[in-house]
Structure 1
Amino acid sequence: MSTGLLVAVLAGGEGRRIGGGKPSRLLGGETLLARALRLARGWSDEVRTVVRDPGQAAGAPLLLDDAAIAGPLGGLAAALRFARSHGHEAVLTLPCDMPFAPPDLPGRLGTAIEARAAAIAASGGEIHPVCAMWRRDVLDRLDAYLATGRRSLRGFAETVGFIEVDWSVGSLDPFFNINSAQDLRRAEAMLLR
Structure 2
Amino acid sequence: MKIAVVILAGGEGKRIGGNKPLRLLGGVSLLERAVCYASGISKLCAVAVRDETQIGNIGIPVVRDDPEIEGPLGGLVAALRFARDEGVSAVLTIPADMPFLPTDLADRLLDSIGQSRAVIACSGGHQHPVCGLWRTEGLDAFAEYLASGRRSLKGFAKIVGYVAIDWPVDPLDPFFNINSEQDLAEAERLLA
Q: TM-score range by the shorter chain?
A: over 0.9
In structure 2, distance between residues paired with 1:110 and 1:41: 17
Count of aligned residue pairs for this structure pair: 190
Instruction: Report the CA distance between 1:86 and its aligned residue.
Output: 1.4
In structure 2, distance between residues paired with 1:103 and 1:58: 27
Name the counterpart of 1:45.
Answer: 43
In structure 1, distance between residues paired with 2:114 and 2:175: 23
CA RMSD of aligned residues (A): 0.8
Query: Mapping of 1:23-42 within 5 angstroms?
Result: 23-42=21-40
Partner letter of residue 117 of structure 1? R
Instruction: Report the CA distance between 1:48 and its aligned residue.
Output: 0.3
Query: TM-score, normalized by length of structure 1?
Result: 0.97
Query: Mapping of 1:104-119 within 5 angstroms?
Result: 104-119=104-119
Partner letter of residue 175 of structure 1? F
1:97 to 2:97 alignment: yes
Instruction: Report the CA distance between 1:131 and its aligned residue.
Output: 0.5
In structure 1, distance between residues paired with 2:4 and 2:73: 16
Instruction: Report the CA distance between 1:52 and its aligned residue.
Output: 0.3
1:7-33 deviations in whole A, cap 9, x for unaligned? 010011000000000000000110000
Name the counterpart of 1:77.
Answer: 77
Q: Percent identity?
A: 56
In structure 2, distance between residues paired with 1:112 and 1:56: 34
In structure 2, distance between residues paired with 1:102 and 1:57: 24
Contact 1:9/1:50 (8 A) holds in 2: yes
Query: Mapping of 1:156-167 within 5 angstroms?
Result: 156-167=156-167
Return 5+ residue gaps in structure 1 as ranges.
Answer: none
Query: Mapping of 1:1-193 within 5 angstroms?
Result: 4-60=2-58, 61-192=61-192
Structure 1 runs (4+) greater than 2 angstroms displaced: none
Instruction: Report the CA distance between 1:85 and its aligned residue.
Output: 1.5
